[in-house]
Chain A
Amino acid sequence: MNQSHGSATESNASIRVRALESLLTEKGLIDPKALDALVDTYETKIGPRNGAKVVARAWVDPAYKQRLLTDATAAIKEFGFSGLQGEDMVVVENTAQVHNVVVCTLCSCYPWPTLGLPPVWYKSAPYRARVVSDPRSVLKEFGTELPETVEVRTWDTTAELRYLVLPERPSGTEHLSEAQLADLVTRDSMIGVTKVSAS
């Protein structure tokens, strides 16, 4: 963190991070350039576009979908998406009868290789508290209203497992290519708080 030097407005958190980084750098335990690269990777390279590619492939390739639902970690790795917070993946499929939604009630566990870092709302107290007790009210806040006949399943992440929702392919998309389909897939639909729409 070289851009600010103890300015009057710098937060305590920022100073704490800077103190730790400078100490660990002096001890030769970390390389600030490696930290720069990590920040850049998670800001620009790893994010929900990865998960969208996985979803689109599953929509167009039944054999891939089968692999994804039986061994998600391996199927996702076919794209080269693996590593921290993606070591043990489970994909849950949305259908006309079942809608899945994912949470981590105890903290903020989230599948980084396919979705990047979680949005603040996912880590927030209101989401974590309510999506397990009254998921429909949470989905409604996201504009997702499901018929009473649809079963809502909430998956609470454990310390090891990471869930990814395979949303339903919207109707009217039969003519689209895999890449065009991937463009329709949103982060929120892979957490399960929204559905994918055709436009």
Chain B
Amino acid sequence: MNGIHDLGGMHGLGPVLREDNEPAFHEPWEGRAFALFASTFVFAGYTVDEFRHAIEKIAPAHYLESSYYEHWMFAFEEALMKRGFVTREELDARIAQLKNGGH
């Protein structure tokens, strides 16, 4: 599948932007997303192929605009839902609750 993720050789993307003294995580949620992935990896039994396939399903514009850890979140939410550890409904309900200031 030749999608937006397959960036090798693509032209016109501009210079490589670097950051001095870059932190491991730019925001606390990135660290939590990383740790969530690493802690669910074993019991959920993700495979690399599955993970990549999920990332390849991200819409192209969103893929380029969103951050690395958002790609990950997309992939392992999919994997956890597929295995029944959480449902879309549970997740959406919790997101709505948190947005309304709930804990």
Contacts and interface: CB of A to CB of B under 8 A. Distances in A.
B45 interface: no
Contacts of B49: 159
A19 B24 contact: no
Interface residues of A, number: 57
Contacts of B10: 125, 129
Contact of B94 (A19, A105, A127): A19
A38 B28 contact: no
Contacts of A19: 91, 94-95, 97-98
Contacts of B38: 38, 84
Given A105-B7, A133-B9, A21 B64 contact: no
Contacts of B71: 107
B99 to A, nearest CB: 6
B16 A121 contact: yes
Interface in A1-25: 1, 3-6, 11, 13-24
A138 B17 CA distance: 11
A198 interface: no
A191 to B, nearest CB: 12
A30 B39 contact: yes
Q: Is the interface of A mostly helix, strand, loop or mixed?
A: helix
B5 interface: yes
A14 B36 CA distance: 13
Contacts of A42: 24-25, 31, 34
Interface in B27-41: 27-29, 31-36, 38-41
Interface in A101-153: 103, 105-108, 116-117, 119-121, 123-130, 132-133, 138, 141-142
Contact of B18 (A14, A17, A121, A130): A121
A82 B8 CA distance: 28
A88 to B, nearest CB: 12
Contact of B16 (A17, A30, A34, A141): A141
A15 B101 CA distance: 10
Interface of B: 5-11, 13-19, 22-29, 31-36, 38-41, 43, 48-49, 52, 55, 64, 66-71, 73, 77, 80, 85-86, 90-91, 94-95, 97-103
24 contacts: A6-B98, A6-B101, A13-B29, A13-B33, A14-B28, A17-B29, A18-B32, A19-B95, A22-B98, A24-B80, A27-B86, A29-B85, A39-B31, A39-B34, A43-B31, A84-B41, A106-B7, A117-B34, A120-B17, A124-B16, A126-B16, A129-B10, A132-B9, A156-B8
Which 4 A-B residue pairings sit nearest by Cβ, starting from the closest?
A105-B8, A14-B29, A35-B35, A129-B10
